């Protein structure tokens, strides 16, 4: 199952740009009703208005004012009533993308029943911590594909690595940042269009179906938890579906960030709601 994923972001000062954008989005979200000015926002993040505007335009091809429109209109019920998806409303309010769209095709490969029962015994994974456009990430993979892409704060490295090991308790994990850096660059900064990437996932049959369904959600489009359950002909299982979405081990590539509550509130996000907002705002800024 394949899907197109936007992956090109500026490479300079990637991590610091994410942290600034994250802080700005948090402030805009908390204060959206009173529509803060660019000067006020710039003061909050410790930059001049012109520097902040340039950073936003470099990072995602939009200005802080346009980002505020996304936050103000993007998750509003009325916007969705008049558009195919809630982010169409953001486009109609003047949002235009400066980013180029690259295609990264994702193929999902499952563990065998034997590997599932043996809890990964005999498998070896390489892992590494890296800067990314969306903050620090932990990447893990073996020769059959990427099995983990998660985001974390600086103080959480030990905790997140332990969580990863607990999912594959009898597997061997070897730190090899040089190897996983190549994956990081392939995911976020591909040199060629139409790149291919395999993900190697362990989950229950229902979880795997949910993760495959997430791959079908187009860029700049959202689904509710109940809509994903309906797509799987399991309308009665939206809570179970939401639980499976929350356990997605490959953030961003398997786009669980595109799933919102029926009210269009963001809902939960395993790697933090500000990061979910950053991803949605970035995707909204892309033009095909």
Active site residues: 256
| Dist CA 21 CA 39 (whole Å) | 15
Q: How far is CA 231 from the centre of its chain?
A: 21
Alpha helices in 33-176 (DSSP H): 38-45, 49-60, 64-74, 77-81, 88-92, 113-117, 157-167
Q: Rounded distance, CA 270 to CA 138, Å?
A: 14
Q: Are 52 and 59 a contacting pair, CB within 8 Å?
A: no
DSSP 283: H
Using alpha carbons, select from 9, 5, 18 the residue that is nearest to residue 199.
5
- Nearest-angstrom CA–CA distance, 129 and 152: 9
Beta-carbon contacts of residue 209 (< 8 Å; ≥ 6 apart): 232
Structure tokens at 17: 């740009």
Distance in angstroms (rounded) separating the CA atoms of residues 51 and 57: 10
Instruction: Give dist(CA 220, CA 97) in Å, integer.
Output: 12
Q: What are the tokens at 246?
A: 């929350």
């Amino acid at each position: 199952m394949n899907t197109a994923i936007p992956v090109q972001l500026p490479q300079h000062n990637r991590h610091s740009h994410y942290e600034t954008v994250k802080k700005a989005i948090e402030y805009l979200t908390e204060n959206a009703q009173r529509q803060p000015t660019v000067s006020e926002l710039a003061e909050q993040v410790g930059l001049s208005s012109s520097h902040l505007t340039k950073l936003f335009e470099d990072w995602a091809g939009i200005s802080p004012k346009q980002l505020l429109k996304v936050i103000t209109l993007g998750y509003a019920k009325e916007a969705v009533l008049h558009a195919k998806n809630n982010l169409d409303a953001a486009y109609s309010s003047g949002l235009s993308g400066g980013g180029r769209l690259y295609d990264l095709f994702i193929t999902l490969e499952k563990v065998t029943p034997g590997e599932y029962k043996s809890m990964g015994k005999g498998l070896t994974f390489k892992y590494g911590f890296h800067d990314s456009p969306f903050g620090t990430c932990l990447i893990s993979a073996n020769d059959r594909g990427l099995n983990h892409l998660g985001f974390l704060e600086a103080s959480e490295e030990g905790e997140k690595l332990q969580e990863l090991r607990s999912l594959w308790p009898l597997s061997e994990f070897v730190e090899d940042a040089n190897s996983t850096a190549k994956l990081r660059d392939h995911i976020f900064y591909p040199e060629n269009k139409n790149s291919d990437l395999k993900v190697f996932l362990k989950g229950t049959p229902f979880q795997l179906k949910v993760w495959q369904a997430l791959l079908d959600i187009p860029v700049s489009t959202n689904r509710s938890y109940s809509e994903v359950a309906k797509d799987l002909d399991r309308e009665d299982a939206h809570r179970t579906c939401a639980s499976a979405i929350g356990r997605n081990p490959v953030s961003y590539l398997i786009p669980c960030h595109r799933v919102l509550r029926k009210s269009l509130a963001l809902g939960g996000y395993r790697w933090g709601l500000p990061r979910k907002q950053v991803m949605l705002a970035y995707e909204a800024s892309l033009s095909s």
